[in-house]
Each structure stands twice: as structure tokens, then as C-alpha cells.
Amino acid sequence: MEEITKYIESGILELYVMGDLTPAERAEVEEMSAKHPEIKSEIASIEVGLENYAKTYAVNPSDALRSKVLNQISPQNKTETVQETKVVEISQSGSSLFYKYAFAASLALLVMSIAALFVLNNKLQESNQQLAVLQSSNQQFSNRVNYMTEQLDKNKEALAILHNPEVKMVKLAGTKNAPKASMMVAFNPVKNEVMIDMKMMQMPENDDQHQYQLWALVDGKPVDLGVFDKQDNEDGMKKMKTISYAQAFAVTLEPKGGSVNPTMEQMMVMGAI
């Protein structure tokens, strides 16, 4: 009971009647009012008090307003709605015109973009072709440079060997098996190096089953110095097995891979140091 009195005296009911509460607070007051008749009658008294206060301070609107208000309430209701609809329609048609223009503009833009894309694509392909041509010629050029560098290196190497005072050049002359044959062997007894000059070689070409084999003659005994092939495009100096001392060099034609002992009948060239 005391709680209800407190609730009433808090002033919340006055705020409720004047519409100055949050929806949650309002719901609470309505719940309390439904539960407690004292609260309900207190609210009613507040309402009557304020209603009388408003009546005391009432102001009459102009007389013309009465018919204006009453006329708009029922029959003219519809015309107002119609007018409202019209306004909406106008604004819609205005905006749809805008969308038409916008659509046309974007269509034109699309066509132009496609055309531009086509032209650019053609140019791109042209450029790609030119690039491919340039790349291949560049490749050819660098191949050529590589080849020439290789050649130069071989020549330098050969020249270095030829100019080296330690190196002895031994000319091997053709035997009766190959009277026109000849080749040069470079022998460096200090470094034990044996090289043959592939470029200056004058030998018949060997077939697939046979290879030439170089021998060193040391105190009348043949020592294997490795096999080689005679091919047209061979170039530079070819390093053979090492040996520290020899009196002569000879080349025989042996089965592919070489033999342990030289086949004397197949001796092609020979030369003494």
C-alpha cells in the first residue's frame, strides 16, 4: 500500500498523462494501473485536471476552420490521395526520362569502348609480332657471338700453345697406308701435355666402327695416348693423355674405343721428335 502511495507521489503518473515517458516507462505505468485501482483513479483525476486546465486556456480557432476541417475529414479525402499520386507520377516520369538518357549514354559509351578495345588489341598484336621478330634476331645474334667467342677462345688457346717455348711441335707424316696424310702434335714435356691440332689435320675420315688412336713410342714400346675422330668441322687443339717422355708419335686406325696394342698394319702417320 505504501509502495503504491510512493509510486503515485513520484510524479510519474503526471508525466504519463502528459505523454512525457519512454515507451517502456509507459508500459510499466499501464501495467501498474491495470493492477491497482488507486493508480487508475489517480490517473483519471490527473487527466480531468489537465483537461480542465486546457479548457480554461482554450483558444477558439477562426470560424471558417470548422467547415474546412469537417469537409476534409470524409468526402475530400479521396481527392487528396489522387493529388498525391499525381505528384508521385510526375516525379517518376522525370526520373524515368533521366534513366532513358542515362541508358542511351551508357550504350554509346559501351560502343566506343569496344571500338577502342578492338583498335588497341590490333596494335598490341602487331607489337607482339615485332617483339617476337626482334627476340629471334637477338637470339641469332647472341648465338653468333657465343660461337665466335668460342672460336676465339680455341684460337687463343692454340696460339698460346704454339707460342709456348716449352712446347715442341711434332709433324707426323703419312705412311704407305695414307701417303697424303699429315698432322701436328704439340708436346709439352714440362707439363706432360700432349695435344693434337684438329684444324691442321690431313686425314681420311674414319667410319662409325673405327677410331684413330695416338701412340707414343717410348724406348721402342707403344704407349696409348687416347682415341680421336677425324671430322670436317673439328677445330682447335684436342688434349690427349699425358706422358713425360717420348721419342716419336704414331697414329693407327683401330676398332672404336681403341686397342691395347697398336695394329701396325693400320699405321697412318708417324713422326719422331
Partner 1 sequence: MQISTKDQLSKKKITLSETDLIQALRQKDKIGAEALYDMYSSSLYGIIYRIVQHEEIAEDLLQEAFLKIWNSFNSFDPAKGRLFTWMANLVRNLSIDKIRSKDFRNNSKNQDIENTVNFIDEQRSTAINPDTLGVKDLVDKLKPDQKSILDLVYFRGYTHVEAAEELGIPLGTVKTRLRMAIITLRKFFN
Q: For binding to partner 1 (CB under 8 A), which residues are involved?
A: 9-12, 14-15, 17-20, 30, 33, 43-62, 65-66, 68-70, 72-74
* Closer residue to partner 1 (CB): 66 or 199: 66
Query: φ, ψ for residue 269 (rounded to 5)?
Result: -135, 160
Toward partner 1, which CB reaches closer, 25 or 126? 25
Give the C-alpha distances (Å, rounded to integers) separating 45 from 8, 59, 273: 12, 23, 146
- For residues 233 and 198, what is the distance between their CA atoms, to the nearest angstrom? 9
* Least distance between partner 1 and beta carbon 98 (Å): 26
Question: Can you tell me the distance from the alpha carbon of 90 to that of 78, in angstroms, rounded to the nearest whole number?
Answer: 19
Residue recorded with cell 686425314: 203
CA distance linking residue 264 with residue 255, whole number of Å: 13
Min. distance of Cβ 40 from partner 1 in angstroms? 10
Q: By C-beta, is 52 or 146 nearer to partner 1?
A: 52
Q: What does residue 195 show for φ and ψ, rounded to 5 degrees?
A: -130, 150
- Quote the least distance from Cβ 108 to partner 1, whole Å: 40
CB of 90 to partner 1, least distance (A): 21
- Is 13 or 161 the residue whose CB approaches partner 1 more closely? 13
Diameter of the chain measured on Cα atoms? 155
**75 or 94: CB nearest partner 1:** 75
207: left (phi over 0), alpha (psi -120 to 50) or beta: beta
CA 46 – CA 52 distance, rounded (Å): 10
- Whose Cβ is closer to partner 1: residue 57's or residue 99's? 57
Distances, alpha carbon 78 to alpha carbons 87, 150, 153, 185, in Å? 15, 103, 106, 123
In whole angstroms, the minimum distance from the beta carbon of 88 to partner 1 comes to 19
Q: Based on C-alpha coordinates, what's the Rg of the chain? A: 59
Distance in Å, CB of 94 to partner 1, minimum: 22
- Give 73 or 82: the residue with its C-beta nearer to partner 1: 73
